[in-house]
Amino acid sequence: MAKPITSIKRYQVPREEQVENDVNEVKQAVADNKEAILKGIQLLSSLEEEGTLDAAYSFSKKKEQILANVVKELNREQYTPMLENIPELVFLLGEIDGKALRETMARFNRGLEEMESTDEDKKTSVFELAKSLKDPEINRSITMLMQFLKGMGKSQG
């Protein structure tokens, strides 16, 4: 009769062969993900240039302490009204017409640019004010402002 097997020797890959297999696997992964790796390097470079990478690294090392400080700070009495209003703010953002707001803000910015290019010491006479109502851009702006005020004054009922 044959002797029973009492020990099993497993095949062990030599260290050099394992290293070579690992290097080939990494090379293949780099080749397959070249674009993502290059973008990641660009992102890291950008973060390093701005000093953000150091901040993120420091945050990761001390996150428990930093989060404890943030929670402690937010727990102060002076922040209570702000924290209570966050849900209302979220709902308000959901009701805002983003396209209309974007268009209104673009017009507002154009108005600010025009205002900045005007001499601050210039006076407008009543005659010039009446005459300016014939300007289609001014007339349109005044009409829009009056419609805004009308809509704002309407009751909710």
Give domain limits for the chain: 17-74
Quote the CA–CA distance of 143 and 137 in Å, as a whole number: 10
pLDDT of 97-140, one tens digit each? 989 999 989 999 998 998 888 888 888 899 998 899 899 999 99
pLDDT of 75-107, one tens digit each? 888 988 888 899 998 898 888 898 999 998 999
Question: What does the pLDDT read at residue 1?
Answer: 66
pLDDT of 7-39, one tens digit each? 887 888 889 999 999 999 999 999 999 999 999
Report, as an integer, the average pLDDT of 53-72. 90
Confidence of residue 43 (pLDDT cuts 50, 70, 90): very high
Question: What does the pLDDT read at residue 136?
Answer: 93
In Å, what is the CA distance from 128 to each residue of 51, 52, 124, 135, 151? 54, 54, 6, 11, 29
% the chain with pLDDT above 70: 99
Provide the token pair at 135: 């300007």
Question: What does the pLDDT read at residue 39?
Answer: 95
Q: What are phi and psi of 35, to 5 degrees?
A: -60, -45
What type of residue sits at position 148? F
157 has pLDDT over 80: no
Question: What does the pLDDT read at residue 45?
Answer: 93
